[in-house]
Amino acid sequence: MQNMWKGHSICSDCKHKIQQCPNCRSPLSNARNFTLEKLTTKVAYPCRNREIGCSFISTSTKIRSHELGCELSETSCIMGPTTKCSYKCLRPSMYSHIVEQHSSMLLEINTVQKRNVVDKREGVYVFYVGGELFRFNIKGSEQAPSYRFCMSHLGMVEGEHKYCYNLQILDQSNLGLHFSITQPCQCLTNRGNPNALTVPYDMLRPFVGETSYFNYKINIIKV
């Protein structure tokens, strides 16, 4: 909660939508109202989606996390940053949209996928597992020879880890090479992948075939 110069208060969500205090027209202030913030932790609030059917009620410390994952919240297309798709829908309808508009990006778990190490462009794909949607990003780095992998879960709240993904790089040499690593799925946002798994190219090199491709499999496991 933010205090205005003349004592009026406004929440941080609304503050970025205005240029001045809506009550007294005074300039905005960055001072926090700690007393009011503490009070909000004692009051029960309904989910902002109550008018369309959500019955969840809780304090301010829990309601925000719920709303980020509420199935009745409007969700932007998870392929938007890649395809410039501006479609929005309720979360349960997202899979139908992916099938109709982005079916070429749908992958199945535990199936062999190929990646050309020469191609540094970002690949973005979708997995649908147990009724949940996941976005998978894979990209080669130009600066430091490496590959970055990230699996994000639609509807997951930051700080929660309900799913992990297992990445296997498959041996093409018949030498019995093995590469397997399990990482937590991230909260799906459109702010990039700061917690992506980085694999140096030196580790991938033994798994790259004569055609400059490496093969990999993905599995998603509920924790």
* Cβ atoms 147, 139 nearer than 8 A: yes
Q: What percent of the chain has pLDDT over 90?
A: 39
Q: pLDDT, tens digit, for every residue of 79-99?
A: 987 889 999 988 888 999 999
Mean of pLDDT values over 102-108: 95
Mean of pLDDT values over 30-50: 75
* Same domain membership, residue 64 and residue 34: no
Q: Residue for token digits 């809780």?
A: 58
* Higher pLDDT, residue 115 or 188: 115
Amino acid identity for residue 96 in this structure: S
* Same domain membership, residue 110 and residue 65: no
Q: How far apart are CA 5 and CA 15, in angstroms?
A: 13
* Same domain membership, residue 218 and residue 111: yes
Asked whether residue 78 is assigned to any structural domain, the reply reads no
Q: pLDDT, tens digit, for every residue of 181-207?
A: 999 998 876 555 567 899 998 999 999
Measure CA 214 to chain center: 26
* Same domain membership, residue 180 and residue 130: yes
Mean of pLDDT values over 26-33: 72
Mean of pLDDT values over 39-53: 77
Q: How far apart are CA 38 and CA 61, in angstroms?
A: 10
* Same domain membership, residue 188 and residue 112: yes
pLDDT greater than 60 at residue 70:
yes
Mean of pLDDT values over 107-111: 96
* Same domain membership, residue 30 and residue 136: no
Q: How far apart are CA 84 and CA 81, in angstroms?
A: 6
* Same domain membership, residue 50 and residue 27: no
Mean of pLDDT values over 5-29: 71
Asked whether residue 16 is assigned to any structural domain, the reply reads yes
> Cα 204–112–79 angle (5° rounding)?
90
* Same domain membership, residue 46 and residue 32: no
Query: For residue 47, what are the domain limits?
Result: 42-72
C-alpha distances in Å from residue 154, one per residue of 1, 94, 188: 28, 10, 5
Q: Residue for token digits 């093409």?
A: 172
* Same domain membership, residue 117 and residue 52: no
Asked whether residue 212 is assigned to any structural domain, the reply reads yes
**DSSP secondary structure, 26-55, as one string:** PBP---B-HHHHHHHTTS-EE-TTGGGT--
Mean of pLDDT values over 50-79: 78
* Same domain membership, residue 25 and residue 48: no
Q: pLDDT, tens digit, for every residue of 124-148?
A: 999 999 999 999 999 988 777 889 9
- Supply the pLDDT for residue 17: 74
C-alpha distances in Å from residue 82, one per residue of 67, 79, 194: 25, 6, 17
Average pLDDT value for the chain: 84
* Higher pLDDT, residue 155 or 83: 83
Contacts of 208 (CB under 8 A, 6+ apart): 117, 172, 214
- Supply the pLDDT for residue 192: 58
